[in-house]
């Protein structure tokens, strides 16, 4: 019988949900261009080392905390040490802020998928704007709000469905579909002349960036790794809390980063070669996912261009939804657990509605400030502070305030996330003791093979690694 909190139906279902949380816009949007512009293969090496020595340990720590206490973030800290309950609240707040901008981006992805669907049937999916659509969309408040709302509703409905009936069910279908779509696109792109330059851009070992700015590469890789693995805000603890005691935590903590990295690399093998083959600058950075990719599919031309465009944005949509549901669940579970602790019904549906509604409101400025391009329906933070678009162009405006998205991102990903994860590793390494993780790993009769390795990770490597991320993030945002 499923208990009141909810639980996964199987380890496979848990893995699909957890990998789904990890695989998101970060993999498809961020990873390819960050890897390409930070040393290619050399960046990958740094990324893999960080994932192996910091990512896997923090993943295991979060999963163990959640499953041990059978609680989501706040409840878990409450049970382990009341004093540190603020870390749980940090995490929750962080997930809250990330979800607000994540859903705005998700809405835009949805709009692109629909645009290609219309185009496939001969209509004009781009409001007469052609490849200039991105710039137009940002200023079209009606569309921005509508698709932001639609994406938020999709997320809400799945989370309302519960752990097994909503999140697990959706992820178990969506994740295999995502992998299949990605493969189709990779193969199609690989057959196009010129694609090879894209692979070269991503994979060519270039140790110059490492020599010139090792710290810069390290912080980019570390920040990307943390965001991509959904660490540092208790989402994984919450997912772990729904996992059966007999399942192997240690193995799961390795499988999730493995697939997350694999999909990121696959995305790199689709996005960059596509740009190379169809004459689009792949150094475009953040505009890549929208403006550049639309040009790729336009240059591909005809029905096949529209079809590939649809498949691509549909795949990105899946990736975004499986991540957004984890972010919403992280917060909703806190309220559910609080109700249960008071002896009441969890009231998941009501909690989901309240939280999703609040997040929607908080995200409205993100949807309406045209990502800081100036003169939009809602002024960007820098405009409120009296800076102008000219100051922005001249680089006088700190990144943290150049648009609402970056402001939220800087607070959450930049500060709360590394800080929370750092405190957690210190607590596990030095206060609660690594015994906590050991007991939990061994709970299902599994041997804790890498005990010594993880001990060193929790005590030294993870806290130091996270301190570096924290300092670097603060530096890069201000």
Binding residues for ligand TRP, per CB under 6 A?
Answer: 21-22, 24-27, 95, 98, 227-228, 230, 233, 235, 323, 326-327
CB of 262 to ligand TRP, least distance (A): 13
Question: Quick one: 234 or 372, whose CB is closer to ligand TRP?
Answer: 234
Question: Quick one: 125 or 219, whose CB is closer to ligand TRP?
Answer: 219
Question: Quick one: 233 or 461, whose CB is closer to ligand TRP?
Answer: 233
Question: Quick one: 22 or 58, whose CB is closer to ligand TRP?
Answer: 22
CB of 264 to ligand TRP, least distance (A): 8
Find out whether 409 and 476 touch, Cβ atoms under 8 Å. Answer: no
CB of 109 to ligand TRP, least distance (A): 12
CB of 1 to ligand TRP, least distance (A): 29
* CA 222 distance to own-chain centroid: 14
CB of 98 to ligand TRP, least distance (A): 6
Question: Quick one: 21 or 292, whose CB is closer to ligand TRP?
Answer: 21
Question: Quick one: 59 or 311, whose CB is closer to ligand TRP?
Answer: 59
CB of 197 to ligand TRP, least distance (A): 26
For the packed helices 249-277 and 435-442, what is the interaxial angle rounded to 10 degrees?
90
Buried b (16+ CB within 10 A) or exposed e, 41-51: ebbbebbeebb
Q: Please give the Cα distance from 437 to 448 (Å, whole number).
A: 9
Question: Quick one: 306 or 323, whose CB is closer to ligand TRP?
Answer: 323
Question: Quick one: 337 or 383, whose CB is closer to ligand TRP?
Answer: 337
Comparing C-alpha atoms, which of 144, 103, 92, 71 is closest to residue 357? 103
CB of 159 to ligand TRP, least distance (A): 13
CB of 304 to ligand TRP, least distance (A): 28
């Amino acid at each position: 019988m499923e208990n009141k909190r909810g639980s996964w139906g199987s380890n496979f279902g848990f893995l699909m949900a957890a990998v789904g949380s990890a695989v998101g816009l970060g993999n498809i949007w961020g990873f390819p261009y960050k890897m390409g512009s930070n040393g290619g293969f050399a960046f990958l090496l740094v990324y893999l080392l960080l994932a192996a020595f910091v990512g896997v340990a923090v993943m295991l720590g979060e999963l163990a905390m959640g499953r041990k206490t059978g609680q989501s973030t706040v409840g878990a800290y409450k049970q382990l040490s009341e004093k540190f309950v603020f870390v749980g609240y940090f995490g929750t707040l962080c997930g809250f802020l990330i979800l607000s901008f994540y859903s705005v981006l998700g809405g835009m992805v949805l709009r692109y998928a629909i645009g290609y669907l219309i185009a496939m049937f001969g209509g004009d999916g781009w409001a007469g704007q052609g490849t200039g659509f991105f710039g137009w969309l940002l200023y079209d408040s009606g569309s921005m709000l509508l698709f932001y709302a639609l994406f938020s509703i999709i997320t809400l409905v799945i989370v309302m469905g519960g752990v097994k009936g909503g999140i697990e069910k959706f992820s178990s279908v969506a994740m295999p579909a995502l992998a299949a779509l990605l493969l189709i696109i990779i193969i199609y792109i690989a057959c196009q002349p010129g694609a090879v330059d894209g692979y070269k851009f991503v994979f060519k070992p270039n140790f110059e960036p490492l020599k010139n700015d090792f710290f810069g590469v390290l912080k980019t890789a570390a920040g990307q790794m943390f965001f991509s693995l959904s660490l540092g805000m208790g989402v994984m603890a919450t997912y772990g809390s729904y996992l059966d005691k007999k399942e192997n935590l240690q193995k799961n903590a390795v499988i999730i980063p493995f697939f997350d990295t694999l999909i990121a690399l696959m995305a790199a093998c689709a996005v960059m070669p596509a740009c190379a083959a169809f004459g689009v600058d792949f150094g475009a950075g953040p505009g890549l996912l929208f403006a550049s990719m639309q040009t790729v599919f336009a240059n591909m031309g005809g029905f096949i261009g529209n079809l590939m465009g649809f498949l691509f944005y549909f795949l990105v949509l899946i990736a975004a939804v499986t991540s957004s549901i984890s972010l919403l669940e992280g917060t909703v579970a806190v309220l559910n657990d609080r109700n249960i602790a008071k002896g009441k019904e969890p009231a998941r549906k009501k909690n989901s509605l309240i939280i999703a509604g609040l997040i929607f409101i908080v995200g409205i400025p993100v949807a309406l400030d045209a990502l800081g391009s100036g003169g939009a329906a809602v002024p960007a933070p820098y405009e409120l502070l009296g800076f102008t678009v000219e100051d922005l162009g001249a680089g006088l405006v700190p990144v943290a305030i150049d648009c609402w998205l970056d402001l939220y991102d800087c607070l959450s990903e930049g500060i709360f996330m590394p800080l929370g994860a750092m405190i957690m590793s210190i607590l596990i390494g030095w206060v609660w003791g690594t015994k906590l993780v050991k007991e939990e790993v061994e709970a299902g009769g599994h041997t804790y093979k890498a005990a010594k390795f993880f001990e060193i990770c929790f005590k030294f490597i993870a806290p130091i690694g996270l301190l570096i991320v924290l300092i670097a993030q603060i530096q890069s945002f201000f």
